[in-house]
Amino acid sequence: MINQVNQIFLCSFLFLSLFPVSFAQPASHWVSYPSANQTAYGVYHFRKSFELDKVPDKMVIHVSADNRYNLFVNGKRVCYGPAKGDLKTYKYDIIDIAPFLHIGENLLAALVFNGGDDKPMAFISVQTAFMLRVENSNFSELNTNSNWKVYKNPAYRVISYHEMLFKERWFYGFYACGGGDEIFAEKYPWGWETTGFDDSGWIAAEPLLFDKQPPWNLVPRNIPFMDNHLAYPAKIRKVNNADIPIGKWDGTSSLTIPANTKANILIDFEVLTMGYPELAVQGGSGSYIQVKYAEALYEAVNLKAHRDSVNNLNMFGVWDIFHADGGERVFRFYLN
């Protein structure tokens, strides 16, 4: 997503990742969610707990997924991917997770996303699948198999790009970036990536069996991981129906929207920014937050204005939606 001017109801940040890579060819162990529609939109969580008496100097893993994954170790997001490719050069990532381990109980956790019919055109896909392998054979029990647990997240709904582009009739032309996501906080398994989470209701991951070789011919990532830093907004440009001052705002202080209020807040990053928004919310049970993204406002359909201008202009763009459950939540839009 490219955000230069954001329309949002609460605070947002942008989130990316960076880690070094090395090169080796893994033996793949692909798993999925049993009985899932393997080509449809879906968000899946995988978990594997293990104990360590001693933290190894190195624990190098190979990891990939179809369409995309986010990998967490003991609650910390450590990498995401894979890099784009095709089935003959399907990418996997290599990372040493030893710095994220500790003595006692540890957890590997992955969020795996399939965009279904609304996935970006750059996502070459066979079906929903996840693969993780440890280079050190002493830790082979961590390789993906039925000893991993999996959960299909019911909190997500796809916002079709047809809905986003043609409902408002603001865009005419070629679009290849995929849909948006609608998240219902009351259905979300908060804390799923942490060791203290109760996964007793989760089921065993299903190993995928193939007549010959898996359809993904794995090759190592051939580009660096993306840079990892927080990008903060610069200012609030316009406010409708809320007592919020216009001017400098970096996203670190809270904005309060009264109950039973529909408000619009136009936030400017001042420079073109690519990343993953982060919402920190509290209260507001039954309310929703629509986060809309655009690099500039519009004078009319298919006619962008100067990107520093906001007066008498329209906000068109793609969006995500978060439905609050009244709790204190931090949510990152990881998927696309």
Question: In 133-256, which ranges are continuous DSSP H helix?
Answer: 161-166
For the chain, how many structural domains are there in total? 2
Examine residue 171 and state whether it is found in any structural domain, yes or no: no
Which residue do the tokens 């008498």 mark? 312
Share of the chain above pLDDT 90, in %: 74
| Shared domain check, 251 and 298 | yes
> Which tokens belong to 127?
């079906």
Q: Which helix (H) or strand (E) holds 310?
A: none
| Shared domain check, 235 and 209 | no
| Shared domain check, 8 and 137 | no
Model confidence over 4-62: pLDDT tens digits?
333 333 333 333 333 433 344 444 489 999 987 899 999 999 999 999 999 999 999 99
CA distances from 183 to 20, 158, 187, 207, 321 (A): 32, 9, 8, 28, 6
What pLDDT does residue 7 have?
38
| Shared domain check, 263 and 140 | no
Q: How many distinct helices (H) and strands (E) make up the chain?
A: 1, 25
| Shared domain check, 147 and 51 | yes
Model confidence over 223-280: pLDDT tens digits?
999 888 899 999 999 999 999 999 999 999 999 999 999 999 999 999 999 888 999 9
What pLDDT does residue 170 have?
66
Q: pLDDT category, 211, cuts 50, 70, 90?
A: confident
Examine residue 180 and state whether it is found in any structural domain, yes or no: no
| Shared domain check, 125 and 29 | yes
| Nearest CA-CA partner of 82 in 110, 46, 58 | 110
What is the domain range of residue 6? 2-13+229-332
Task: Show which of 169, 202, 220 is a domain's final residue.
Answer: 220
| Shared domain check, 144 and 77 | yes
What pLDDT does residue 139 have?
96
Supply the CATH number for residue 140's domain: 2.60.120.260
| Shared domain check, 322 and 216 | no
Examine residue 176 and state whether it is found in any structural domain, yes or no: no
